[in-house]
A and B are shown apart, each in its own frame.
Chain A
Amino acid sequence: SYVLTQPPSVSVAPGQTARITCGGNNIGSKSVHWYQQKPGQAPVLVVYDDSDRPSGIPERFSGSNSGNTATLTISRVEAGDEADYYCQVWDSSSDHYVFGTGTKVTVL
């Protein structure tokens, strides 16, 4: 089955840039979506189709995808960005949706 690997944690100072990676075999050939989840809340879509943002999501959130790694970048990090982040793809070979292992972003 298809596996998406994320770093367990990323720490960043306010105002700096956080980069969260999502590794998968030839993930560059798939569309990657990213979700933010704050404690006790449902996930929220923050980036879809590798790099597009839903309405209401700040431009500080951006994404890229190439080769075996997709990346979610959060620029000018704010305290309110502290959350868990998950990448997600559709694996057509198994007809399964796959979520990454999740990354906890801590704002120092």
Chain B
Amino acid sequence: EVQLVESGGGLVKPGGSLRLSCAASGFTFSSYSMNWVRQAPGKGLEWVSSISSSSSYIYYADSVKGRFTISRDNAKNSLYLQMNSLRAEDTAVYYCARDLRDAIFDYWGQGTLVTVSS
């Protein structure tokens, strides 16, 4: 059974940093691209970042480019999102999602809440 479990969310002050993790199991993690998607309270889905299976290709939404860094450790079956210079507008539930192929996000984690507030 495919499982994605996010962790690392919490309350952080504006300008602070946080590192999210996503632990994957039930599939060959190293064969799939992975993504972070977020959802602000009461708002829609917003794609944040994507990383290919071997980390060769990395993409970011304009809203986080230069502040967030996506990475993965295939030996540990884990995906990460380092978030720096956090802003109030980064407050959201952050989901990790597996990319089956061609942007098909077939499995999602349950999400971790990040709150940026003073």
Q: Determine if A97 and B103 form an interchain contact, defined as CB atoms under 8 angstroms apart.
A: yes
* A67-89 at interface with B (beta carbon < 8 Å): 84, 86, 88-89
Asked, given contacts A42-B109, A86-B45, whether A96 binds B61 with beta carbons under 8 Å apart, the answer is yes
User: How big is the A interface, by class?
Assistant: 20 to 34
With an 8 A cutoff between CB atoms, is B108 at the interface?
Answer: yes
CB-nearest residue of chain B to A101: B44
With an 8 A cutoff between CB atoms, is B1 at the interface?
Answer: no
Distance in Å: Cβ of A87 to nearest Cβ of chain B = 10
Asked, given contacts A96-B59, A97-B35, A97-B103, whether A43 binds B44 with beta carbons under 8 Å apart, the answer is no
Question: Chain A at the B interface: mostly helix, strand, loop or mixed?
Answer: strand
Task: Return chain B residues, CB-CB under 8 Å to A100.
Answer: 44
8 tightest CB-CB pairs across the interface, nearest first? A90-B103, A97-B47, A102-B44, A42-B108, A99-B45, A48-B104, A95-B59, A45-B106
5 further A-B pairs in the complex, CB-CB below 8 A; given A49-B102, A84-B44: A42-B95, A43-B105, A86-B44, A88-B103, A100-B44
Can you list 25 A-B pairs with a CB-CB distance of less than 8 A? A31-B102, A31-B103, A33-B104, A33-B105, A41-B110, A42-B95, A42-B108, A42-B110, A43-B37, A43-B45, A43-B105, A45-B105, A48-B100, A48-B106, A49-B104, A86-B44, A89-B103, A96-B62, A97-B35, A97-B47, A97-B59, A99-B37, A99-B46, A100-B44, A102-B44
- Spell out A's residues near B (CB within 8 Å): 1, 31, 33, 35, 37, 41-45, 48-49, 54, 84, 86, 88-90, 95-102
